[in-house]
């Protein structure tokens, strides 16, 4: 049994989403039918299922799009190095051989606080795995603006090639779209060559309509990705809110021709959930958005469950969690 992973899209960082002038027309025209969104989200994993070798292939693909994350107050250089080793080799050698995987497999990126960027860069040297840094006063985003810019610049200087910024939720809640646009645009300019993911913190935006409006503004301001959550809010990534953001990305692509990436984060812990979000990408945006340059899953514990499911596929049994490598 030999498994291959399709990579039809351009490599990561080949193109950038440009900064466009603020256009409030699509923002003000937003209409969201919450009941319809929830019905559609509820049927996503019932309309399409993947089984056996197809499920294994999709799970392998989900590993390729994971931003393997550690954002804890007790992070140490040792914790980060161990996480980077897991990113370099997310599956055990014997399992890779059993699956007959014919090409190298790594995670999409490693995501850390600024303090750990240099450690991660050093640990990943030679692997081509990007280091993503959370920034701009993550998770609350309430630091002074000057400090937010300085934090982005410091992380880029330390070697981060992706910056996950958090927006000021007050701009969305007060409908101050110009302030949101100016803020995100300034963040994008500070990122320089590093790709920027804009975290909307959807659990704190109040309505799905606000989520879609904020998505449009962040994309116009040059966000390479829009991301659901910090993972620190009471409500993080859900399928209904992800569907709304995916529709915003689709509309933006149809209007401008620019492809913006999507990253759900927070609470995605099981292989089944990873498949749900891949199905969402396949159904709403197409195969291009199933690749690492346009789709990431922010997670820490997810990889262990995926490995258990792949072991069951390969050997017909589940391994105890004590046999899974620590992330």
CA distances from 165 to 33, 100, 182, 221 (A): 28, 38, 14, 13
Q: 198, 223 in Cβ contact below 8 A? A: yes
**Alpha helix stretches (DSSP H) within 235-270:** 239-256
Instruction: Give the helix/strand (H/E) hosting 54.
Output: helix 52-64
157 is catalytic: no
Instruction: Give the helix/strand (H/E) hosting 262.
Output: strand 261-263
Catalytic entry in 224, 227, 276, 305: 227
Distance CA 253, CA 18 (A): 12
Catalytic entry in 148, 224, 263, 305: 263
Distance CA 94, CA 72 (A): 31
Residue keyed to tokens 């080949």: 14
164 is catalytic: yes
Q: Is residue 45 left, alpha or beta, with left meaning phi > 0 and alpha meaning psi from -120 to 50?
A: alpha
Closest of 6, 135, 3, 133 to residue 65, by C-alpha: 6
Sign of torsion over alpha carbons 267, 264, 56, 286: positive
What phi and psi, each to the nearest 5 degrees, are found at residue 197? -110, 125
148 is catalytic: no
How do strand 131-134 and strand 109-112 relate by DSSP bridges?
Answer: parallel
Catalytic entry in 67, 86, 148, 164: 164
Q: Which residues does the annotation mark as catalytic?
A: 164, 227, 263
């Amino acid at each position: 049994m030999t498994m291959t992973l399709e990579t039809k899209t351009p490599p990561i960082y080949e193109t950038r989403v440009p900064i466009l002038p603020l256009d409030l027309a699509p923002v003000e025209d937003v209409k969201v039918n919450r009941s319809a969104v929830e019905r559609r989200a509820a049927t996503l994993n019932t309309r399409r299922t993947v089984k056996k070798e197809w499920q294994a292939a999709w799970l392998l693909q989900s590993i390729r799009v994971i931003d393997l994350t550690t954002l804890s107050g007790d992070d140490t250089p040792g914790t980060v190095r161990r996480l980077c080793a897991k990113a370099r080799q997310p599956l055990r050698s014997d399992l890779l051989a059993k699956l007959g995987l014919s090409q190298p497999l790594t995670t999409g990126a490693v995501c850390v606080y600024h303090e750990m960027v240099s450690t991660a860069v050093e640990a990943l040297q030679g692997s081509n795995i990007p280091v993503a840094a959370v920034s701009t006063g993550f998770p609350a985003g309430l630091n002074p603006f000057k400090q937010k810019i300085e934090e982005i610049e410091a992380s880029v200087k330390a070697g981060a090639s992706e910056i996950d910024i958090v927006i000021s939720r007050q701009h969305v809640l007060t409908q101050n779209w110009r302030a949101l646009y100016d803020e995100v645009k300034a963040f994008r300019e500070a990122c320089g060559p590093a790709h920027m993911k804009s975290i909307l913190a959807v659990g704190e935006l109040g309505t799905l309509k606000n989520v879609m409006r904020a998505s449009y503004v962040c994309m116009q301001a040059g966000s390479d990705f829009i991301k659901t959550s910090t993972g620190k809010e009471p409500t993080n990534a859900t399928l209904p809110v992800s569907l709304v953001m995916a529709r915003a990305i689709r509309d933006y692509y149809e209007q401008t021709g620019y492809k913006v990436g999507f990253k759900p984060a927070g609470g995605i812990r099981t292989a089944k959930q990873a498949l749900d979000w891949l199905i969402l990408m396949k159904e709403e945006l197409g195969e291009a958005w199933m690749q690492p340059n346009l789709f990431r899953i922010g997670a820490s514990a997810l990889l262990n469950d995926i490995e258990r499911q792949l072991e069951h596929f390969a050997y017909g049994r589940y391994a105890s969690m004590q046999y899974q490598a620590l992330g």
